[in-house]
Structure 1
Amino acid sequence: MTGTAPSSSRRTNRRGAATRESMLEAALSSLASGDPGSVSANRIAKDIGVTWGAVKYQFGDIDGLWAAVLHRTAERRGELPVGLAPGGSLRERVAATVDTLYHGLTGTDSRAIETLRAALPRDPAELERLYPQTAAELVSWRAGWNAACQKAFADLDVDPERVREVASFLPGAMRGIVSEKQLGTYADLDEARRGFTAAIVAYLEHSR
């Protein structure tokens, strides 16, 4: 009998992990719909197809669920591809970063994140008080993004402070361009991305 217990435990653990995975994917799909009501705990449980008690069993509370959802998107996003291609020119790396953000911000995970962030408190202190795990995950994103950008340009003799500044404004600026695409525009967004890339390159080159 003692020999069968570990196997039974492993099966239980695998079922629990599979349940958790399916809940995360269902939550992401619900949030990606853009419906503001999708951030409701009861609505999420309904969309997942389980009781709220089952969700709490896996994640503790709504804060634990949101933190897990954000962590999942971060895992899938990974590092900047430019950080994996040493030897590229400054322009090539900036262009790759801009293109990565442009395409990434139109994806399902990005839509889910925007829906969730729109429902969270804007004040950082309030966010940390009400949703400490979610706030910690978002803070880790900022640190990870800055580190990835520094790594991507580390061998190009550019000012790390300017890289940090670019890292700070780049996601928001690209979100604006993506918003133009989604809303419909007469502007040439390929031209916009080229001009934006050239401006960043010029700013970083000037720091050499």
Structure 2
Amino acid sequence: MSTTTTGSGRKPNRRGLAAREQLMSTALRLLSTGRPEAVSVNLIAKEAGLSWGSVQNQFRDSDGFWAAVIELIIEAGPTMWQTPRSDTVAGRVAEVAELYRAVLDSPQNVAVETVRAALPRPLDVLAESHPHTAASIAELDRRWAEAFVHFFEGLDVDEQRALDVAAVLGSALRGLRSDQHFGTTVDVDRAHATLVAALTSYLEG
């Protein structure tokens, strides 16, 4: 990702770095609540005790700001993954499914979901008004898929099938999480186990 610069393209000074860190930490705190109204640069600046001028000086505009938030989460990405323990496909699928389930409720992921839900969709539409943000989100998705494939290294797993499973698993687990939050009558744990079994069969060919 790009190195830290101000909206004018200059390296920020100590005061600028402090303002940038304050804006970023405030953004993550508000966005991790999942409230749609948190996707407001003006609100975040106000909560941080700073002005819109500070945002412009550090990030140029809202596109630069949201891109910086996503990039910050990308940088924290490796801490969300762990070294697999199992040496079987079934074991790895079970591990990564539990990992995904935990990550979905992490502050970083909730922040990303909040931003994605509030900004224009799909990604090509977002790119028209927020090109840098769209590029950062695309990079985040790419790295997640790459990390998923890497999780199965050392096993006889087709890479394309692993990418297929990465896409399905994330979407399915988000759906199950929503069902759980809305108090569905579906047995979420049983559905989770069935999903793991089905995806294991697909990976094993």
Q: Fold-level match, TM-score > 0.5?
A: yes
Shift of 1:89: 1.8
Q: Does 1:29 align with 2:54?
A: no
Opposite residue 132 of structure 2, the aligned amino acid is Q
Which residue in the other structure is 1:18 paired with? 18
Change (3 A) 1:80 1:88: farther
Q: Kindly report which structure 2 residues correspond to 1:43-122, keeping only aligned pairs within 5 A, or say none.
A: 43-78=43-78, 81=81, 84-85=83-84, 88-122=87-121
Shift of 1:79: 6.4
Report the Cα distance in structure 2 between the residues aligned to 1:41 and 1:16, rounded to whole angstroms: 17
Instruction: Point out the more displaced range, 143-152 or 128-137.
Output: 143-152
Which residue in the other structure is 1:3 paired with? none
Q: Give the conservation status (yes or no) of the 8 Å contact 1:80–1:148.
A: no
Q: Give the conservation status (yes or no) of the 8 Å contact 2:30–2:44.
A: yes
Change (3 A) 1:27 1:168: same
Which residue in the other structure is 1:165 paired with? 164
Q: Give the conservation status (yes or no) of the 8 Å contact 2:84–2:95.
A: no
Percent identity, aligned pairs only, is 39
Report the Cα distance in structure 1 between the residues aligned to 2:79 and 2:162, rounded to whole angstroms: 16
Deviations 1:94-130 (A, max 9, x none): 1121111111111222222222111111133321121
Report the Cα distance in structure 1 between the residues aligned to 2:122 and 2:50, rounded to whole angstroms: 32
Which residue in the other structure is 2:6 paired with? none
Aligned residue pairs, count = 194
Q: Give the conservation status (yes or no) of the 8 Å contact 2:86–2:92.
A: no
Gaps of 5+ in 2: 1-11
Change (3 A) 1:23 1:69: same
Q: Give the conservation status (yes or no) of the 8 Å contact 1:79–1:148.
A: no
RMSD: 2.1
Report the Cα distance in structure 2 between the residues aligned to 1:81 and 1:115, rounded to whole angstroms: 21
Instruction: Point out the more displaced range, 170-179 or 182-191.
Output: 182-191
Larger Rg: 1
Which residue in the other structure is 2:150 paired with? 151
Gaps of 5+ in 1: 1-11
- Please report the TM-score for the alignment, with normalisation by the length of structure 2: 0.84
Change (3 A) 1:188 1:87: closer
Instruction: Point out the more displaced range, 71-80 or 49-58.
Output: 71-80
Shift of 1:186: 3.2
Any idea what SS the aligned residue of 1:157 has? coil
Shift of 1:50: 0.9
Shift of 1:86: 6.8
Deviations 1:2-39 (A, max 9, x none): xxxxxxxxxx8444333322211101222223332222
Shift of 1:87: 5.9
Q: Give the conservation status (yes or no) of the 8 Å contact 1:28–1:69.
A: yes
Any idea what SS the aligned residue of 2:154 has? helix
Change (3 A) 1:79 1:29: closer
Report the Cα distance in structure 2 between the residues aligned to 1:59 and 1:150, rounded to whole angstroms: 33
Opposite residue 193 of structure 1, the aligned amino acid is H
Opposite residue 136 of structure 2, the aligned amino acid is E
Report the Cα distance in structure 2 between the residues aligned to 1:125 and 1:185, rounded to whole angstroms: 33
